Amino acid sequence: MNSVSLRFINTLILSLFCLLGLTGLYGLVCPSPAFLYEIHRAAGWALILLIPWKSFISLRSLRRGLDRRFDRNLMIVVSIVLAVATLTVLVLGVMWAWNLGEYYVWIGPYAYSGIGWHWGIALGLAPLFLIHVWRRWPRPKRTDFAGRRQALKLMGLGVATVATWGVAETLSKVLQSEDSPRRFTGSREDGSFTGLDYPVTSGADQGKIRLTPETWKLTVKGAVKTPLTLSYADVLALSVSKVTATLDCTGGWYTTQVWQGIRLLDLLAHAGIHHEKVGIILRDVSGYAAHFTPAESQEILLATQVGGQVLDHWHGYPLRAVVPSRRGWHWVKWLTEIEVLAIL
C-alpha cells in the first residue's frame, strides 16, 4: 500500500471517528431527531468496512517492532489499546442492536448494559484517539482525494455502507424482542403506561437523602419578581397538568408514561420574570443540576405523579422534571430548587 492510499484510508477513518463522536455526544443529550442516530449507525458500519485496510496498515507498522525510542514504543502501546477499545465498542454496539447476549455485560467487577459500555468506553478512548492523531496520523494532501480512482473508492465505500447499514437495521428489527421493542435511539421499551413499574437509574451519589413532605420545600429564585418557597401541599394544589412523554435513558431503556404535575411556565408565571428570554437551572437536593434553554423550558413539566400514582423515592419523590426533548439524565429527580437566569 503506497503513501497516498495510506493517507486516504487514515483520513477516512479520522473523518468517521469525528462523525461518530459528534453524533454520539449529541445522542447522549437529545433523543431526537431520528436521522442523526441513523447517521451514527451508518458511520459505524463504514468504520467496520475499513477495518481490513486499517489492519494492514497497523500490522505493517507493528512489524518494525520496538526500538530504543521511548516515544515510538509508547505510541505502539497507545495504538494497541486504542484498537482493542475501538473493536470492543463496535462489537458491543452490534450486539446491542441485534439483541445478542445478556442485557448486562460484565467487564471486570462492573456490570452495565451493553449500550452503556458502548458509549462509556467510547468516551474513555477519546483522549487516546487524540494522542494517536497528534503523534501518528499523516497529514492528508489534496492529491490523496483527487482523481477518478479515489472518487470510485469513495463511491464504493458509500454504496457498501448504505447496503450494510440497511441489512443490519433489517436484522435488528427481526431480532428485537416483541416484549421490549427497540426505539430509534437504540433503547428498549420497559414498563410503559404502568405507573411506577419502570426502571430506576441514578448516579452514585444520588438518592441517598430521603425527603419528607413535612420538611421538603421548592424554591424559585434568580431573575424573578417574586421569589417563591413552596411546600409539598402547595405543589400538589398546583399539580393539575398532564403530559404523555417518553423517558429515554442512556442506559438502554425507554418508557412512555402519563405524567402529572405543574408546567414550569405556569410556576414561573406565579413568580414573574424580568426578561422575556431566560435560562433555567434545575437542582436536586444533593446539588445535581441541569441547564435548559428558553425553548426547552416551555416544555418542562414538574411531576408529582406518574400513571396516576404518587412518585416514590427512587422515582424522584416528591418532585421530578419531565423534559421530553432531553435524555433521562436531564430529568432531574428530588427537585428542590429552580434558578432563573436572565439571557441578555
What is the reported pTM?
A: 0.90
Q: Would you state the pLDDT for residue 163?
A: 97
Residues 6 or more apart whose CB falls under 8 angstroms from that of 318 comprise 211, 213, 216, 232, 235, 304, 311, 334
pLDDT beneath 50, residues of the chain:
none
Give the residues across from 105 on adjacent strands.
112
Contact 333, 312 (CB under 8 A): no
Q: Sign of the C-alpha dihedral, residues 92, 98, 102, 103?
A: positive
| Domains of the chain by residue range | 3-182, 190-342
Phi-psi map region of 69: left, alpha, beta (phi>0 left; psi -120 to 50 alpha): beta
**Rounded distance, CA 214 to CA 299, Å?**
29
DSSP β-ladder status, 320-322 and 289-292: unpaired
Q: Would you state the pLDDT for residue 4?
A: 66
**Rounded distance, CA 268 to CA 288, Å?**
21
Q: Would you state the pLDDT for residue 143?
A: 72
Among all chains, which residue has been given the C-alpha cell 475501538? 86
Q: Would you state the pLDDT for residue 123?
A: 94
**Rounded distance, CA 8 to CA 143, Å?**
10
Give the residues across from 188 on adjacent strands.
182, 253
Cis peptide before 33 (omega within 30 of 0): yes
For 49-76, b/e burial (b = at least 16 CB within 10 A) is bbeebbeeeeeeeeeeeeeeeeeeeebb
Q: Would you state the pLDDT for residue 206?
A: 86
Q: Would you state the pLDDT for residue 275?
A: 65
Closest CA to 284 of 202, 227, 228: 202
- What cell does 39 get? 447517521
**Rounded distance, CA 137 to CA 40, Å?**
23
The single-letter DSSP state of residue 98 is T
**Rounded distance, CA 38 to CA 253, Å?**
18
**Rounded distance, CA 37 to CA 27, Å?**
7
Give the residues across from 257 on adjacent strands.
245
Q: Would you state the pLDDT for residue 194?
A: 95
Rounded-to-10 torsion of CA 37, 40, 44, 45: 60
- Classified as helix, coil or strand, 222 is strand
Level-2 CATH architecture, domain 190-342: Alpha-Beta Complex (3.90)
Q: Would you state the pLDDT for residue 281?
A: 97
